[in-house]
């Protein structure tokens, strides 16, 4: 296939997405609506109220230092890599795109709060990272994939990507939590990880709430295609995180765990499960 053929396919895909998006009520600006109240989308606003009621700042969990010396060197290296990744991980540009696309103020309240929470997350992991001597370079292709999906998919496809981004793409946090549980001296750090995981859970559910208002929903085949791409990228990332470290994790259960998380998204969006597996770490 020539470069011109690929370009033509891309243009056709973009135009098709634009046509599908024209009838989406959440994407249509209402020039007669100047203020938030009265609320017109109660379920969307309720999601904002839930997440805003859980506001926290990283410092409330403490800023004390800690030591990973109680853990084997392989597991210690994994924790260092995960903390490093999440201290610089930045998905704000992706959230800004969702916020700019959706025109209703109820949703923008949620995204505005999420953007602020992203800053809290990065600060929280940066505080944890202060106690770590890290010498790691991490490769992550997920952002490129997610950016491509959020730019080229229809509105329904972008919502699927958004929820998958906030659930499938956080598998490393669950691994971090499992490693911290192995040390009695480090268990107190888990409350920090749980705070981020709880936020991510609300973001995931919010994508499904918005999806209910989507007029041109992708079919099951398209849904599965998006999920499979993100699963593949996350597994590749986790294998890179684990590297050659000697620990209790290997590629097979890692893949099964990511697939298990992916099937939960299938349930949330009311599509058939893809992998039909179980949590290998339970």
Domain span holding position 251:
39-54+68-268
Q: Is residue 60 part of a domain?
A: no
List pLDDT tens digits, range 82-117.
887 887 777 777 888 888 899 999 999 999 999 989
Please state whether the peptide bond connecting residue 76 to the residue before it is cis, i.e. omega within 30 degrees of 0: no
CA–CA separation, 39 and 107 (whole Å): 11
Q: Is residue 46 part of a domain?
A: yes
Predicted pLDDT at 52:
92
Q: Is residue 97 part of a domain?
A: yes
List pLDDT tens digits, range 227-239.
999 999 988 888 8
Q: Is residue 119 part of a domain?
A: yes
Predicted pLDDT at 25:
86
| Under-50 pLDDT residues of the chain | 1-12, 246
CATH number for the domain that contains residue 226: 1.10.620.20
Q: Is residue 30 part of a domain?
A: no
Q: Is residue 100 part of a domain?
A: yes
In total, how many domains does the chain have? Answer: 1
Predicted pLDDT at 160:
95
Q: Name the CA dihedral angle for 226, 205, 121, 46, rounded to a multiple of 10 degrees.
A: 140
Q: Is residue 43 part of a domain?
A: yes
Q: Is residue 241 part of a domain?
A: yes
- Nearest by Cα to 189 from 199, 179, 198: 179
Residue 109, H or E segment: helix 105-129
């Amino acid at each position: 296939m020539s470069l011109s053929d690929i370009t033509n396919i891309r243009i056709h895909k973009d135009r098709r997405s634009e046509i599908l998006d024209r009838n989406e009520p959440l994407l249509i600006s209402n020039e007669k609506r100047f203020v938030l109240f009265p609320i017109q989308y109660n379920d969307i606003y309720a999601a904002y109220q839930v997440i805003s009621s859980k506001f926290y700042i990283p410092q409330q969990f403490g800023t004390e230092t800690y030591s990973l010396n109680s853990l084997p060197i392989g597991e210690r290296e994994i924790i260092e890599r995960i903390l490093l990744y999440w201290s610089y991980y930045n998905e704000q540009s992706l959230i800004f795109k969702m916020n700019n696309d959706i025109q209703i103020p109820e949703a923008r309240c949620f995204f505005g709060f999420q953007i602020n929470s992203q800053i809290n997350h990065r600060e929280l992991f940066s505080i944890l990272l202060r106690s770590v001597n890290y010498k790691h370079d991490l490769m992550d292709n997920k952002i490129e994939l997610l950016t491509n999906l959020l730019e080229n998919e229809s509105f329904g496809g972008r919502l699927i990507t958004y929820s998958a981004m906030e659930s499938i793409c956080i598998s490393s946090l669950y691994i971090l939590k499992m490693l911290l549980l192995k040390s009695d001296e480090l268990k107190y750090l888990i409350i920090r990880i749980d705070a981020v995981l709880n936020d991510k859970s609300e973001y995931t559910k919010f994508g499904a709430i918005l999806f209910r208002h989507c007029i041109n929903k992708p079919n099951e085949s398209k849904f599965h295609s998006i999920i499979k791409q993100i699963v593949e990228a996350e597994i590749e990332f986790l294998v890179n995180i684990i590297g050659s470290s000697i620990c209790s994790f290997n590629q097979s259960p890692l893949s099964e765990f990511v697939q298990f998380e992916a099937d939960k998204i299938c349930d949330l969006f009311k599509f058939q499960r893809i992998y039909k597996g179980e949590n290998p770490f339970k």
